[in-house]
């Protein structure tokens, strides 16, 4: 028996990359692609998980046995981790049947994991009348991912999936979690924002992501600040001088300049100066490629080939090491940009990319 149906979207991050675990600024928006969860309570203390996207049928777990590191390692860790995080936070909830169907491409840098977590959290919140608000659910989803799944991610993706609104990007200050919706409608300005999934797959439980995060935290300690967020553009030259290690200097330079770019993109969106966003996207990519070193040849090729074809700007989006890039182009040039990226990929003998126009969509919601 079904008691309800919930949907939570994947996201694209417009700008503000690798800033969220530095207490910094981010500007994501929700995709129309969602994870749909069909759910019902169970009275026998069993969490029964099924996904139309995963082979192998249903997995049954006893809720009282859920603990980090004790589950089967795989996709079920995300919903099981959310149940664990809710219970660990003191909420009373029993078992559930949860069936998922995802239209968010996995490993594409579009937050399929956060969508799965938020769909689970919203379903359990409603089914058990927990009364948590969206930002509260996002925090528990991050806890599930950090502690149960073991991926040291920040708060951006879960908040984007839980809190975004249609037609807007979400300006999020990850220090105090204040949020502001900012209108994002490229079409109204004759522009198109393309998402290019390189189909190079990545995972953030791997060492590279954790290594960047640890590098940022060590640099903050060396500089005597709580987080790199506390270094503003004016303090950057001095901070760089005080760090002997060139790799630490590069991490700091990225985070500080990226936070400033988020502000500038937000200002451009608010004042309707959308084309001005393009060069800031490209600057972000250069910084992620050269200073933060989280790009890859396929992402770089999207950026290079789209700019040559006349795009206004482009950058990798999400954690990097594969996944997707975004490209801002005049709508009249979108076909030429798409063709140029496809042909560059073919010439390099890369897998054909998947390209679609992004539309800022609704955050998580109950469907039935
Ligand atoms: C992943 C993480 C986010 C964020 C981005 C990089 O998507 O889940 O928390 O750190 O990488 O900006």
* Residues 6 or more apart whose Cβ sits within 8 Å of residue 296: 198, 200, 320, 321, 322
pLDDT at res. 206: 65
Distance CA 26, CA 298 (A): 24
As a three-state string, the secondary structure of 176-187 is: CCCEEEEECCHH
Domains of the chain: 4-181 (3.30.230.10)
Tens digits of per-residue pLDDT, 137-190?
Answer: 999 999 999 999 999 999 999 999 999 999 999 999 999 999 999 999 999 999
Q: At what angle do helices 134-143 and 156-163 cross, to 10 degrees?
A: 150
Tens digits of per-residue pLDDT, 96-112?
Answer: 999 999 999 999 999 99
1: pLDDT confidence band, cut at 50, 70 and 90? confident
Tens digits of per-residue pLDDT, 15-37?
Answer: 999 999 999 999 999 999 999 99
Instruction: Tell whether the model's pLDDT for residue 216 goes beyond 80.
Output: yes
260-269: string of b/e by CB count within 10 Å (b at 16+)? bbbbbbbebb
72: pLDDT confidence band, cut at 50, 70 and 90? low
Residue of 27, 111, 154, 159 best suited for mutating to test ligand 1, as the one with most atoms within 8 Å of CB: 154
Higher-confidence residue: 70 or 138?
138
C-alpha closest to that of 112 among 203, 174, 192, 39: 203
Is 267 marked active-site? no
- CB 315 less than 6 A from any atom of ligand 1: no
Determine the average pLDDT of the residues in 86-91: 98
Instruction: Tell whether the model's pLDDT for residue 69 goes beyond 90.
Output: no
CA of 44 to the centre of ligand 1 (A): 36
pLDDT at res. 203: 64
Average pLDDT of every residue of the chain: 97
193-223: string of b/e by CB count within 10 Å (b at 16+)? bbbbbbbbebebeeeebeebbebbeebbeeb
Instruction: Tell whether the model's pLDDT for residue 209 goes beyond 70.
Output: yes
Write down the catalytic residue from 77, 97, 157, 291.
157
Report strand pairing: 59-62 vs 46-51: antiparallel
Both ends of the chain: CA-CA distance in Å? 13
Which of 65-74, 143-152, 317-326, 348-357 has the least mean pLDDT? Answer: 65-74
pLDDT at res. 235: 98
Instruction: Tell whether the model's pLDDT for residue 205 goes beyond 60.
Output: no
Instruction: Give residue 286's Cα distance to chain centre.
Output: 19
* Residues 6 or more apart whose Cβ sits within 8 Å of residue 172: 20, 25, 26, 27, 28, 155, 156, 159, 160, 163, 178, 179
Determine the average pLDDT of the residues in 72-83: 93
């Amino acid at each position: 028996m079904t008691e309800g149906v919930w949907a939570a979207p994947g996201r694209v991050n417009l700008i503000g990359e690798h800033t969220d675990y530095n207490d910094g600024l981010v500007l994501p928006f929700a995709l129309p692609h969602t994870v749909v969860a069909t759910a019902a309570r169970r009275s026998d203390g069993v969490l029964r998980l099924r996904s139309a996207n995963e082979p192998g049928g249903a997995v049954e777990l006893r809720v009282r046995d859920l603990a980090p590191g004790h589950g089967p390692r795989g996709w079920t860790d995300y919903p099981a981790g959310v149940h664990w995080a809710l219970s660990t936070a003191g909420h009373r909830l029993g078992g559930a049947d949860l069936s998922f169907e995802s239209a968010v491409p996995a490993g594409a840098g579009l937050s399929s994991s956060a969508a799965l977590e938020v769909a689970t959290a919203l379903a359990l919140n409603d089914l058990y009348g927990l009364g948590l608000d969206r930002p509260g659910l996002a925090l528990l989803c991050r806890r599930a991912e950090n502690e149960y799944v073991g991926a040291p991610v920040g708060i951006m993706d879960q908040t984007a999936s839980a809190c975004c609104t249609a037609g807007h990007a979400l300006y999020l200050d990850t220090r105090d979690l204040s949020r502001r919706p900012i209108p994002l409608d490229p079409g109204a300005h004759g522009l198109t924002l393309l998402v290019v999934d390189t189909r190079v797959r990545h995972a953030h439980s791997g060492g590279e992501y954790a290594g960047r995060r640890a590098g940022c935290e060590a640099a903050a300690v060396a500089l005597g600040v709580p987080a790199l967020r506390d270094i503003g553009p004016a303090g950057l030259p001095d901070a760089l001088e005080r760090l002997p290690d060139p790799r630490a200097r590069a991490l700091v330079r990225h985070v500080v300049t990226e936070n400033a770019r988020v502000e500038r993109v937000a200002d451009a969106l608010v004042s309707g100066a959308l084309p001005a966003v393009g060069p800031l996207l490209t600057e972000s990519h250069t910084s992620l490629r050269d200073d933060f070193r989280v790009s890859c040849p396929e992402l770089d090729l999207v950026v290079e080939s789209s700019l040559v074809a006349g795009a206004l700007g482009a950058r990798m989006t999400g954690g990097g090491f594969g996944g997707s890039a975004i490209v801002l182009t005049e709508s009249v040039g979108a076909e030429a940009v798409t063709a140029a990226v496809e042909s560059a990929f073919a010439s390099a003998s890369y897998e054909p990319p998947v390209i679609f126009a992004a539309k800022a969509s609704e955050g998580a919601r109950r469907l039935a």
